[in-house]
Structure 1
Amino acid sequence: MSTPSESARASDAHLEAVMIRVAAGDQDAFSALYDATSGHLFAVIQKVLRNQALSEEVLQDVYVQIWQNAGAYEAGRGRVITWCLTFAHRRAVDRVRSVRASQERDLAQGMKEYQESYDDVEDTVTLRLESERVNRAMEDLNSGQATVIKLAYYGGYTQQEIARIMDLPLGTVKTRIRDGMNRLRTTLGVRT
């Protein structure tokens, strides 16, 4: 009887072999990859989107990306499931941004109509400047800090989930969040 770690290594080796076949255009291997990974990917996508129909659409998009980019997978750089989860998470976050942008456009139109009736320019400028200030401060973070902070605060992930998604030790995730938040506080001039 195999231990859980032996079983996980066997599963990883199997998925790597499947991925090699997918990269060569093997549709049966792609079906096997889908069967082995779709549940995990869908769970991540749905956690970000919190919408069944959108999650199903994004899952389809993710598998198109995986099919098109299978040749770029490098076994030495990480597990197949982690590579696939990265596509899923990025695509889900992209969809959230797209939906938010649409909502912001709708809100902007509503604000424009509101402003035609009322002079609310000062509040609008203040909000926009504050938003731009936070976005600039986020750009000053290193990519590791920015990624974990976005996953935690915009994606709603716990530190343990972020560690699993990014295939990092939990301590590294905690350190990146702490250091990133400290840097944001300093950049924004927030006193604690």
Structure 2
Amino acid sequence: MTKWVCPPRSSSGQERTDMVMRDTASNDTVDRTRRTRDDATELADVVVRIAGGDVDSFAELYDRTCAGVYGITLQVLRDAGFAEAVTEEIYLEVWRTAGKFDPSRGSVLSWLIDMTYARAIERARLERSRTDRGSHSQLMTGPP
């Protein structure tokens, strides 16, 4: 199994911090709107190919979105190790559920962001619960 390292790096070796790579040199609003729409359509096509088992399309989606997904998980969890693990879980979920993606309900990015927040919050609650149980059991048994 491939170990995905996040966040991805561009060909220049710099970390990417955006959800989708875009040419930001242009300040033309119409051009940016067209590119955003094209990006959304292109990502929807990528997810369709992922649903068909296309590993290269999965890698493309990962490369284009991982920095944003990882950034959200890190912001919610405040722990790089947990953020990496949750990011990996999210992309496994993408692989398994790509066929359920419905572009009429929203963009690929909104689907990913919703999935990311839900999974990160779920993990934060789980870790908080584990911490609370550990504190409670220590109170009950006393110090070693």
Q: Shorter-chain TM-score category?
A: 0.7 to 0.9
CA distance in 2, matches of 1:39, 1:103: 28
- 2:77 counterpart (43, 46, 49): 49
Q: What's the offset of the Cα at 1:89?
A: 1.1
Residue type of the alignment partner of 1:32: E
1:111 Cα offset (Å): 2.4
Q: Give me the TM-score of the superposition, normalised by structure 1.
A: 0.57
What is the Cα deviation at residue 86 of structure 1? 1.3
- 1:126-185 CA distances to partner (integer Å, 9 max, x unpaired)? xxxxxxxxxxxxxxxxxxxxxxxxxxxxxxxxxxxxxxxxxxxxxxxxxxxxxxxxxxxx
Structure 1 counterpart of 2:101: 73
| 1:94 shift after superposition | 1.2
Letter in 1 for 2:35: S
Determine which structure has greater relative contact order: mean sequence separation of CA pairs < 8 Å that are 6+ residues apart, divided by chain length: 2
| 1:9 to 2:70 alignment | no
> Residues of 1 paired with 2:47 and 2:105: CA distance?
14
Computing the radius of gyration from Cα coordinates, the structure with the larger value is 1
Residue number in structure 1 paired with 2:87: 59
Deviations 1:45-65 (A, max 9, x none): 111001111111111011001
What is the CA deviation profile of residues 72-119 of structure 1, one whole-angstrom value per residue up to 9, with x for unaligned ones?
A: 1000000001101111111111111111111011111122235xxxxx
* Residue in 2 that maps onto 1:147: none
Q: Which amino acid aligns with 1:38?
A: C
Amino acid at match of 1:7: R
What letter is aligned with 2:74? Answer: Q
Q: In structure 2, what is the equivalent of residue 23 of structure 1?
A: 51
Structure 2, unmatched stretches of 5+, are 1-25
Structure (1 or 2) with the greater helix fraction: 1
The residue number in structure 1 matching 2:129 is 101
Task: Give 2:37's aligned amino acid.
Answer: R
One-letter code aligned to 2:101: Y
1:24 shift after superposition: 0.7
Structure 1 runs (4+) deviating above 6 angstroms are: none
In the aligned structure 1, how far is the partner of 2:31 from the partner of 2:71?
26
SS state at 1:25 partner: coil
- TM-score, with structure 2 as normaliser: 0.75
| Equivalent-residue separation in structure 2 for 1:40 and 1:7 (angstroms) | 18
